[in-house]
Amino acid sequence: GAMQGLVKHPFSDELDLSLRKVDPALPIPVETVTEVVDRIMAGRLGGQAPLAQEQPVGELGHRPVKKVLIHARGCTAVKLVRKALEAELEVVLVQSDPDMDSVPADMVRQAGAAGTVVPIGGNTSDESYLNALSILNIAEAQQVDALHPGIGFLSETPNFAALVRQKGINFIGPKVMSMETMGNKSNAISTTMSINVPVVPGSHGIIDSSEKALEIAERVGYPILLKAVHGGGGKGIVKVERPEHLHQLFHQVTAEAKSAFGNGDIYIEKCVTSLRHIEAQILRDQFGHTRVIGLRDCSVQRNNQKLLEESGSTLLSEQLRSEVLACAEKIATAVDYIGAGTVEFIYDVPSDAIYFMEMNTRLQVEHPVTEAVTGIDIVKQQFLIASGESIEHLTADEKGYALEVRVNAERCVIDGDGEVTFMPTPGKITKYRLPEQDDVELISMVDEGKTVSPFYDSLIIQIIIHGENRLDAIDRMRRYLEAVVIEGISTNISLVKRILSDETFRQGDYDTTYLPKFLNRIDVPALIAEIDEASGSRADVVDLDSLRIEGSQELRVLSPSTGVFYRTPSPSEPEYVNVGSEVEVDEVLCVLEAMKMFAPFRLTSCAGAGGALYPAGQRYRINRINVSNGQQVNEGDLLFVIEPMAAAPIAAL
Ligand code: ADP
Ligand code: ADP
Ligand code: MG
């Protein structure tokens, strides 16, 4: 967004041009401050994207890749660094401050002369990986000939691809035009419809008023979804159950999309009530050779995010399977796609039909399951295609079955409404054992002694297993997970083990509602206890006495986890508490943010051996607040000093 936020210099007409002489790639702003204000007041947040047009048409800069900048962190960086070094490429890895001693950074340093780690500073993604101009400057200074944009961050930002190519650097990805067509979901739907690929019934275009929305919803039938044209990551999708809710939700989603994605355009889709998430892996070269090398099923999801991925789908008939493959190929050709990409489909179970959902114009986290069954090295193919090579000879035969588990640093909690949710648990890994095995691919961003930072998402390890068939792969994965030890932080491995033993999952007869339903029917407190035990956390070491400040009635309040400390619900609101405030044990004192999740912190959030640590039924005064707003805290850091109110009998403590 920052690149589009530039405005003309308010006082000097020549300054921008003079700067351009210093750095020819500097984007030239096209709007004045007044024009930007007028545009935003008129409700058009997106603005025009002047940069993309500067890319010479057809100029992809394909040439042999020798020195590549890897713009990724975590598991993606591990995989890309591994593959680039295998291909004997020189590697430049950019890492934020907290990532400077990460596993991928170590891998690059160990490569000696073949590798350089360059710090980009900053903690959050906004301050680091999303700083496009800083990435570009490093690419130039390091004289790389290619840039791999990884997954997420700027990998699907057409302007970034355009700028990289403008600098004469080979952007490992598709044409800007393909990214633009597929990045806008409404454009993507019109494009796919025009080549007769089935799409979900709906408006098939942007809706500009709630009256119009009502009309279309009536025709499509409730429930419907309102979807943001530029939504992603499971966000910007809202379900409408009945006509009387439509007007209000329409305006709400428009406003939310405007602020989250910079564009408030929305469209309508029928809500498919029972679906499986099916996707097709594409490779395509600049000569127009298209290969759809495999299907994946990613129906085990929570909050529209994938947890387990499979190299095939159990419910899809042979006929629908061929239809998915054919549609994916048609789409790749229609947008003149180049490189590796994925077309996502909805398999509507009750209607036994498939619909186009969206296309991701980049590598996906779950690509290794397809590699495992086809033997095709997808990342290597990305490098080859970007080097200008042909994939004409490439054929894909599937052997066996593969399964991927996403190991997240998180624990299960039951929230105030009795719902099971997941809270990220960053922190230091104290014990780590993941056996190496022939049928297993490990993509791990952690190791003993490494710290999982609170600034990024919670995915820490991808485990991919290959078996003879689905059940064999499931059993191998189950046995493998028995041998895994990760202590110091909580992970979802205990949950995954239960899923792998679950009859419904093993039979393969389920849809995207599987995981929430599963959580409703299992013994969640037992699962939570198992997760705590696996993490090696010993809750019994803390008791109230150890928190008492000697010679006083004062008690320490320690942070239960690593995170960023905030004293207010949002920047414009007042503090939850101040020095001198008096609180009950269930009042919110602050919020702790980790991995993009905000967790309200109360005295009840601290648990000891016998359950609650601070006795309820009395008030506490805040005597000291030890951390400032926005500061990072580690597990066990002192947050507050409190004192039980005088009325409380001291014996109760
Ligand atoms: P910094 O954040 O590095 O302090 P400033 O924007 O304050 O940068 O600029 C540093 C100095 O550069 C100023 O104190 C001033 O002397 C000079 N400077 C900055 N902008 C202008 C300008 N538009 N015209 C003349 N001098 C300027
Ligand atoms: P994103 O860009 O966030 O990945 P998608 O369009 O791929 O958005 O949708 C994400 C998830 O939302 C899907 O995997 C599916 O579970 C659900 N979903 C999307 N469209 C529909 C629909 N029409 N009906 C029901 N669920 C849907
Ligand atoms: Mg998607």
Å from CA of 304 to ligand 2 middle: 7
Q: Is the pLDDT of residue 112 over 70?
A: yes
In angstroms, rounded to a whole number, what is the distance separating the alpha carbons of residues 343 and 327?
A: 9
Ligand nearest to the backbone CA of 342: 3
In angstroms, rounded to a whole number, what is the distance separating the alpha carbons of residues 572 and 569?
A: 8
Of 124, 180, 126, 174, nearest to 149 by C-alpha is 174
In angstroms, rounded to a whole number, what is the distance separating the alpha carbons of residues 465 and 477?
A: 6
In angstroms, rounded to a whole number, what is the distance separating the alpha carbons of residues 327 and 278?
A: 12
Kind plus residue range of the DSSP H or E element containing 236? strand 235-240
Q: Is the CB of 237 under 6 A from ligand 2?
A: yes
Ligand nearest to the backbone CA of 11: 1
Residue 653, Cβ neighbours under 10 Å: how many?
14
Q: Is the CB of 271 under 6 A from ligand 2?
A: yes
Q: Whose CA is nearest to atom 15 of ligand 2?
A: 304
Å from CA of 629 to ligand 1 middle: 30
Q: What is the amino acid identity at position 8?
A: K
The torsion angles phi and psi of 129, rounded to 5 degrees, stand at -65, -20
Rounded (10°) angle between helices 103-110 and 74-86: 20
The predicted pLDDT at position 2 comes to 40
Q: Per-residue confidence at 489, pLDDT binned at 50, 70, 90? A: very high
Q: What is the DSSP letter of 161?
A: H
Residues 6+ apart with CB under 8 A from 485: 431, 432, 433, 534
* Atom of ligand 2 at shortest range from CA of 236: 3
Share of the chain above pLDDT 70, in %: 94
Higher pLDDT, 619 or 573: 619
Determine which one of 73, 165, 276, 362 is catalytic.
362
Å from CA of 70 to ligand 3 middle: 24
The predicted pLDDT at position 58 comes to 45
Q: What is the amino acid identity at position 616?
A: A
Mutate to test the pocket of ligand 2, among 186, 268, 357, 361 (most ligand atoms within 8 A of CB): 357
What residues does 301 pair with on adjacent strands?
306
Q: Whose CA is nearest to atom 10 of ligand 2?
A: 234
Q: Are strands 459-467 and 582-583 parallel, antiparallel or unpaired?
A: unpaired
The predicted pLDDT at position 617 comes to 85
The predicted pLDDT at position 649 comes to 52
Q: Is the CB of 199 under 6 A from ligand 2?
A: no
Q: Is the peptide bond before 223 cis (omega within 30 degrees of 0)?
A: yes
Q: Whose CA is nearest to atom 12 of ligand 2?
A: 304
Residues 6+ apart with CB under 8 A from 479: none
Q: Per-residue confidence at 540, pLDDT binned at 50, 70, 90? A: very low
Helical segments of 335-425, H only: 367-374, 378-386
Q: Are 368 and 325 in contact (CB under 8 A)?
A: no
Mutate to test the pocket of ligand 2, among 274, 304, 308 (most ligand atoms within 8 A of CB): 304
Q: Is the pLDDT of residue 613 over 60?
A: yes
In angstroms, rounded to a whole number, what is the distance separating the alpha carbons of residues 204 and 169?
A: 37
pLDDT (average), residues 310-334? 95
Q: Are strands 339-348 and 353-360 parallel, antiparallel or unpaired?
A: antiparallel
* Atom of ligand 2 at shortest range from CA of 306: 14
User: What is the end-to-end Cα distance of the chain in Å, rounded?
Assistant: 53
Ligand nearest to the backbone CA of 271: 2
Residues 6+ apart with CB under 8 A from 66: 89, 90, 145, 146
The predicted pLDDT at position 83 comes to 98
What are 513-527's pLDDT values in tens digits?
999 999 999 999 899
Q: Identify the burial level of 133 via C-beta atoms within 10 angstroms of its C-beta, where 0-12 means exposed, 13-18 middle and 19 or more buried.
A: middle
pTM over 0.85: no
Residues 6+ apart with CB under 8 A from 545: none
In angstroms, rounded to a whole number, what is the distance separating the alpha carbons of residues 369 and 360?
A: 17
The torsion angles phi and psi of 321, rounded to 5 degrees, stand at -60, -50
Q: Is the CB of 304 under 6 A from ligand 2?
A: yes
Q: Is the CB of 351 under 6 A from ligand 2?
A: no
Look at 56-70, 161-175, 259-273 and tell me which has the smallest mean pLDDT. Answer: 56-70
Q: Are 400 and 369 in contact (CB under 8 A)?
A: no
In angstroms, rounded to a whole number, what is the distance separating the alpha carbons of residues 309 and 152?
A: 18
Active site residue 602: no
In angstroms, rounded to a whole number, what is the distance separating the alpha carbons of residues 203 and 214?
A: 11
Q: Is the pLDDT of residue 622 over 80?
A: yes
Length of the chain: 653
CA 281 to chain centre: 19
Q: Is the CB of 300 under 6 A from ligand 2?
A: no
Q: Is the pLDDT of residue 203 over 90?
A: yes
Establish how many alpha carbons lie within 13 A of residue 531's alpha carbon, considering only the half-sphere containing its beta carbon.
26
Look at 310-324, 536-550, 600-614 and tell me which has the smallest mean pLDDT. Answer: 536-550
What are 341-400's pLDDT values in tens digits?
999 999 999 999 999 999 999 999 999 999 999 999 999 999 999 999 999 999 999 999
Of 314, 356, 24, nearest to 195 by C-alpha is 356
What residues does 101 pair with on adjacent strands?
none
281-290, 407-416, 524-533: which has the highest mean pLDDT?
A: 281-290
In angstroms, rounded to a whole number, what is the distance separating the alpha carbons of residues 235 and 242?
A: 21
Q: Is the peptide bond before 174 cis (omega within 30 degrees of 0)?
A: no
Q: Identify the burial level of 323 via C-beta atoms within 10 angstroms of its C-beta, where 0-12 means exposed, 13-18 middle and 19 or more buried.
A: middle
pLDDT (average), residues 499-512? 95
Q: Is the pLDDT of residue 75 over 50?
A: yes
* Residue in this structure with the two tokens 């995170």, named with its chain if needed: 563
Mutate to test the pocket of ligand 2, among 179, 237, 348, 512 (most ligand atoms within 8 A of CB): 237
- DSSP states of 570-618: STTSPPS--TT-EE-TTSEEEEEEETTEEEEEEGGG-EETTEESS-SSS
Share of the chain above pLDDT 90, in %: 67
Q: Whose CA is nearest to atom 11 of ligand 2?
A: 304
pLDDT (average), residues 284-299? 97
12-26, 65-79, 629-643: which has the highest mean pLDDT?
A: 65-79
The predicted pLDDT at position 230 comes to 87
Å from CA of 251 to ligand 2 middle: 20
Mutate to test the pocket of ligand 2, among 179, 229, 269, 275 (most ligand atoms within 8 A of CB): 275
Token pair recorded at residue 211: 């009256």
Q: Per-residue confidence at 651, pLDDT binned at 50, 70, 90? A: low
Average pLDDT of the residues of the chain: 89
The predicted pLDDT at position 76 comes to 98
Q: Whose CA is nearest to atom 23 of ligand 2?
A: 271
What are 141-160's pLDDT values in tens digits?
999 999 999 998 999 999 99
- Cα torsion 224, 229, 234, 236: sign: negative
Look at 46-55, 70-79, 294-303, 490-499 and tell me which has the smallest mean pLDDT. Answer: 46-55
Q: Is the CB of 152 under 6 A from ligand 2?
A: no
pLDDT (average), residues 266-284? 96
Å from CA of 160 to ligand 1 middle: 29
Q: Each residue of 389-418: b (16+ CB within 10 Å) or e?
A: bebeeeeeebebbbbbbbbbbbbbeeeeee
In angstroms, rounded to a whole number, what is the distance separating the alpha carbons of residues 296 and 144?
A: 34
Q: Is the CB of 382 under 6 A from ligand 2?
A: no
Kind plus residue range of the DSSP H or E element containing 21? helix 15-22
Q: Is the CB of 232 under 6 A from ligand 2?
A: yes
pLDDT (average), residues 491-506? 97
